[in-house]
């Protein structure tokens, strides 16, 4: 009777949502979402219907009178929720990239619904007993490695999320998960609101001395659009303030904009995130202790390559020491330049180098030491050409082909769509790119699934739909989108994630693509960064946007000579954020937690120098308070050890596109999470990764 009732609810929901494009099977090319037909009023009914459908699918597994088997329990569970995957893949991608107040209101309703659904599945004891039965019989079932992995990971997902808890603790866990989901949404919304509300108008062009004309033109267009023609508008978005930090002679303006950026959501107003952080940490600590862990870090890391916080702390300390020493040497060199400017009357104010001075004097030093001016490079880094360069690397490494598709449904006119095929013409997947900032887009850059890869019960391989999102410079009236060196690396980085998702060959969606341990998932993305400035790659995409001239050899030589320049700063800024993350998640209580005082104590403990601000201060640290990287930001450096070592495998052959090495690395990418990450890496490399490859790349050792 219960099963019939659930199906009746689904039927009524579908009837009420007649012609809802989120529920209809798409008739679009390649089955992509019908973004052009989806309206705000479609989302909530679609979620309600999709959640009801998954509940019915799970109920069918629970009520199956047959003895639990791999197929009728483990595989059946993995195949539930495909409609919800489709609805979520659309909604949450649009929410992050093109959201608005109405979508935020929908999200506030949807997050608890999904949390309740997930808890209802994980904490369903009858379902868990079926999973546990198969798990305990797994060695006798003749499973292949991927099937064995699915059984093990399914069981662990139940055990790690409360299936073995007593009833009272299960109920408490449900409440914690629901509250955490809403706090995460609130945190992210506060950061977006603070970023959008902070506007600094410059009325006197003399204050912009040293700023490149392209940056001034972009700021003038922003000001005009905001109703201030004849002025220049700067915001805490990186594309806006970074050129000021690098080039503007006005020290006070540099300070103003860096402080605007680094104090977001930390102003004792309605968008202040300090109370959100305290509550999140209270709940995370309580959740970890429900499972018998002392702190959230150990609870989270149990399923990662690192396994525990002691391993992560020791790893970070081993890289922190040489990074900090390099940063101190760099700071001394920049201080000398500042002293010269003060002596010459070209700089006013404090005699000590400040965080808002670092980028400016680093750029000066790079020009003096390597005759390399980033503004000289930007004309060669036109966005569409850089993207072609990244595509070209995938073609040479893996044989992939990219075809731009016109007249495809998109959620914003700035989005572009590409068909990705293999060397034999077979479909690999569909790639969306969305590269420009807008009011409804959260800061940063990321890759997501819109639709996952998996093989269905009939043996049909459903190819994925993937999206890359960024916040690069918008074209202006006089120039196309020209990227900085950091932007170029970011584009290659996110494209590496996209390749990981696109080339997936898993049978089961929960193991496909980027469903890997967090300290492994950054390997494919950071590996791609190595190709961004390789001379043989630069010559394929770095063309002057006005003349079409390929980037000169002397500029390529300068880029490569300066490859290790400022790496003390870059690595120290990154590692300090990683250590701060671990310090938060090694807390055993949040009683009396003062967010700003805690940050200060953490930085003092690690010996952070005053001239550098941690990459992400707590109140806008989206990675650890909204996006699931809590106790996981170290993974960028952990994966950097792997990516430096993997790239060394190519260099050792004398060919960055060596076919045999590329074939082995492609195989690693195709496996997704179907096998143990360390096992996969050793199979590719023949040995464990050598950390010295990373230290050499950064110039910390010879």
- Tell me, what CATH number does 17's domain have? 1.10.1370.40
SS3 323: helix
Domain final residue, candidates 143, 164, 185? 164
CATH at 327: 1.10.1370.10
pLDDT confidence of residue 510: 97
Residue 299 counted as domain residue: yes
Pairing of strands 427-434, 465-469: parallel
Q: What percentage of the chain reaches a pLDDT higher than 90?
A: 94
pLDDT in tens, 92-141: 999 999 999 999 999 999 999 999 999 999 999 999 999 999 999 999 99
Q: CA nearest 465: which of 495, 434, 510, 431?
A: 431
Looking at the structure, tell me whether residues 252 and 288 fall in a common domain.
no
H or E segment to which residue 402 belongs: strand 401-405
Give the chain's mean pLDDT.
Answer: 95
Residue 362 counted as domain residue: yes
Range of the domain at 238: 198-262
φ and ψ at 421, to 5 degrees? Answer: -125, 160
| Rounded average pLDDT over 178-185 | 96
pLDDT confidence of residue 142: 97
How would DSSP label each residue in 93-134? Answer: HHHHHH--HHHHHHHHHHHHHHHHHHHHHHT-HHHHHHHHHH
**Buried-exposed string 130-160: b where 16+ CB fall within 10 A, e elsewhere:** bbbebbeebeeeebeebbbbbbebbbebbbb
| Rounded average pLDDT over 605-627 | 96
Looking at the structure, tell me whether residues 556 and 584 fall in a common domain.
no
The Cα 102–Cα 362 span in angstroms is 43
The Cα 459–Cα 454 span in angstroms is 9
Q: Which residue(s) pair with 446 in the sheet?
A: 469
pLDDT confidence of residue 627: 83
18 Cβ partners below 8 Å, 6+ apart? none
Q: CA nearest 539: which of 384, 380, 402?
A: 380
| Rounded average pLDDT over 575-592 | 98
Looking at the structure, tell me whether residues 544 and 572 fall in a common domain.
no
pLDDT confidence of residue 2: 37
Residue 323 counted as domain residue: yes
Q: How confident is the model at residue 702 (pLDDT cuts 50, 70, 90)?
A: confident
| Rounded average pLDDT over 465-481 | 94
Residue 175 counted as domain residue: no
The Cα 562–Cα 556 span in angstroms is 10
| Rounded average pLDDT over 546-553 | 97
Residue 339 counted as domain residue: yes
- What six digits make up the tokens of 460? 């049909």
Looking at the structure, tell me whether residues 323 and 286 fall in a common domain.
yes
Decide if pLDDT at 10 tops 60.
Answer: no
The Cα 260–Cα 355 span in angstroms is 13
Residue 662 counted as domain residue: yes
DSSP 461: E
Half-sphere CA count of 67, side-chain side, radius 13 A: 3
φ and ψ at 476, to 5 degrees? Answer: -110, 180
Pairing of strands 232-234, 200-202: antiparallel
33 Cβ partners below 8 Å, 6+ apart? 21, 22, 26, 86, 89, 90, 409, 450, 451, 465
Half-sphere CA count of 592, side-chain side, radius 13 A: 1
Domain final residue, candidates 625, 645, 664? 625
Decide if pLDDT at 9 tops 50.
Answer: no
DSSP 218: H
Looking at the structure, tell me whether residues 455 and 543 fall in a common domain.
yes
| Rounded average pLDDT over 650-672 | 98
The answer to whether residue 494 is catalytic is yes
The Cα 437–Cα 298 span in angstroms is 36
SS3 450: strand
Task: Give the chain's domain count.
Answer: 4
Q: How many helices (H) and strands (E) does the chain have?
A: 29, 9
Residue 700 counted as domain residue: no
The Cα 74–Cα 80 span in angstroms is 10
pLDDT confidence of residue 8: 40
| pTM of the predicted protein model | 0.91
CB 88 within 8 A of CB 115: no
In order of 316, 562, 621, 696, the CA distances from 366 in angstroms are 28, 8, 29, 20
pLDDT in tens, 36-76: 999 999 999 999 999 999 999 999 999 999 999 999 999 99
Task: Give the other-Cβ count within 10 Å of 189's Cβ.
Answer: 20
The Cα 173–Cα 289 span in angstroms is 11
pLDDT confidence of residue 477: 85
| Rounded average pLDDT over 225-243 | 95
Q: How confident is the model at residue 18 (pLDDT cuts 50, 70, 90)?
A: low
Looking at the structure, tell me whether residues 16 and 157 fall in a common domain.
yes
Looking at the structure, tell me whether residues 313 and 289 fall in a common domain.
yes
Decide if pLDDT at 6 tops 70.
Answer: no
CB 182 within 8 A of CB 109: no
- Of 583 and 702, the structure prediction assigns the larger pLDDT to 583
| Rounded average pLDDT over 263-283 | 97
pLDDT confidence of residue 478: 84
Give the CA angle between residues 321, 636, 122 to the nearest 5°: 130
The Cα 516–Cα 679 span in angstroms is 13
Domain final residue, candidates 600, 625, 650? 625
Q: What percentage of the chain reaches a pLDDT higher than 70?
A: 97
How would DSSP label each residue in 487-555? Answer: HHHHHHHHHHHHHHHHT---SSGGGSTT-S-HHHHTHHHHHHHHHHT-HHHHHHH-B-TTT-PBPPHHH
Catalytic residue, chosen from 221, 494, 529, 670, is 494
Looking at the structure, tell me whether residues 532 and 612 fall in a common domain.
no
- What six digits make up the tokens of 666? 């492609």
| Rounded average pLDDT over 542-559 | 97
The Cα 282–Cα 589 span in angstroms is 7
Looking at the structure, tell me whether residues 332 and 445 fall in a common domain.
no
Looking at the structure, tell me whether residues 355 and 485 fall in a common domain.
no
pLDDT confidence of residue 14: 44
Looking at the structure, tell me whether residues 550 and 661 fall in a common domain.
yes
Residue 36 counted as domain residue: yes
Looking at the structure, tell me whether residues 581 and 680 fall in a common domain.
no
């Amino acid at each position: 009777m219960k099963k019939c009732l659930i199906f009746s609810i689904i039927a009524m929901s579908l009837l009420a949502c007649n012609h809802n494009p989120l529920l209809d099977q798409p008739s679009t090319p390649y089955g992509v979402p019908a973004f052009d037909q989806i309206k705000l009023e479609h989302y909530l009914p679609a979620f309600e219907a999709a959640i009801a459908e998954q509940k019915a699918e799970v109920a069918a597994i629970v009520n199956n009178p047959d003895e639990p088997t791999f197929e009728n329990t483990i595989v059946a569970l993995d195949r539930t929720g495909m409609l919800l995957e489709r609805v979520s893949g659309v909604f949450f991608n649009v929410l992050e990239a093109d959201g608005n107040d109405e979508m935020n209101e929908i999200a506030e309703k949807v997050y608890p619904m999904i949390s309740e659904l997930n808890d209802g599945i994980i904490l369903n004891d009858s379902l868990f007993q079926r999973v546990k039965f198969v798990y305990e019989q797994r060695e006798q079932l003749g499973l292949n490695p991927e099937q064995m992995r699915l059984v093990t990971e399914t069981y662990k997902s139940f055990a790690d999320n409360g299936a073995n808890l007593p009833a009272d603790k299960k109920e408490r866990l449900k409440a914690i998960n629901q509250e955490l989901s809403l706090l995460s949404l609130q945190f992210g919304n506060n950061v977006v609101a603070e970023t959008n509300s902070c506007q600094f108008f410059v009325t006197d062009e003399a204050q912009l001395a040293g700023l490149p004309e392209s940056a001034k033109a972009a700021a003038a267009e922003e000001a005009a659009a905001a109703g201030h023609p004849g002025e220049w508008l700067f915001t805490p978005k990186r594309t806006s303030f970074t050129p000021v930090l690098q080039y503007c002679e006005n020290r006070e303006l540099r300070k103003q904009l860096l402080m605007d950026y680094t104090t977001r959501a930390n102003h004792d107003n309605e968008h202040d995130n300090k109370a959100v952080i305290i509550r999140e940490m209270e709940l995370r600590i309580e959740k970890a202790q429900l499972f018998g862990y002392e702190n959230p870090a150990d609870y989270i890391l149990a399923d990662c390559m690192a396994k525990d916080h002691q391993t992560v702390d020791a790893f970070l300390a081993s890289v922190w020491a040489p990074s900090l020493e390099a940063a101190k040497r760099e700071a001394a060199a920049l201080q000398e330049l500042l002293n010269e400017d003060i002596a010459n009357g070209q700089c006013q104010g404090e005699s000590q180098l400040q965080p808002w001075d670092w980028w400016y004097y680093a750029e000066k030093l790079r020009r003096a030491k390597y005759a390399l001016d980033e503004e000289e490079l930007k004309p060669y880094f036109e966005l569409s050409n850089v993207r072609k360069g990244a595509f070209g690397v995938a073609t040479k490494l893996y044989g992939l082909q990219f075809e731009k598709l016109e007249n495809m449904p998109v959620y914003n006119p700035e989005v572009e769509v590409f068909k990705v095929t293999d060397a034999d013409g077979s479909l690999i997947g569909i790639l969306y790119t969305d590269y420009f900032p807008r009011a409804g887009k959260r800061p940063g850059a990321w890759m997501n699934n819109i639709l996952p890869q998996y093989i269905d019960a009939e043996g049909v391989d459903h190819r994925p739909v993937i999206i890359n999102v960024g916040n690069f410079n918008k074209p202006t009236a006089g120039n196309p989108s020209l990227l900085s060196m950091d932007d170029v690396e970011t584009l290659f980085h996110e494209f590496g994630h996209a390749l990981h998702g696109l080339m997936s060959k898993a049978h089961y969606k929960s193991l496909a693509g980027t469903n890997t341990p967090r300290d492994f998932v950054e390997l494919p993305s950071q590996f791609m960064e190595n190709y961004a400035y390789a001379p043989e790659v630069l010559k394929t995409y770095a063309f002057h946007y006005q003349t079409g001239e390929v980037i000169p050899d002397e500029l390529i030589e300068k880029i490569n000579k300066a490859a290790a320049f400022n790496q003390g700063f870059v690595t120290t800024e990154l590692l300090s954020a990683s250590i701060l993350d671990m310090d938060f998640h090694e807390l055993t209580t949040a009683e009396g937690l003062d967010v700003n005082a805690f940050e200060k104590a953490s930085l003092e403990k690690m010996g952070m120098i005053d001239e550098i601000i941690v990459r992400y201060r707590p109140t806008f640290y989206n990675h650890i308070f909204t996006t699931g990287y809590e106790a996981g930001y170290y993974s960028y450096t952990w994966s950097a050890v792997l990516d430096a070592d993997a790239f060394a495998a190519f260099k050792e052959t004398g060919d960055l596109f060596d076919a045999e090495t590329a074939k082995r690395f492609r195989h690693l990418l195709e496996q997704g999470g179907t096998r143990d990450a360390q096992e996969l890496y050793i199979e590719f490399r023949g040995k464990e990764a050598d950390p010295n490859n990373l230290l050499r790349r950064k110039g910390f050792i010879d």
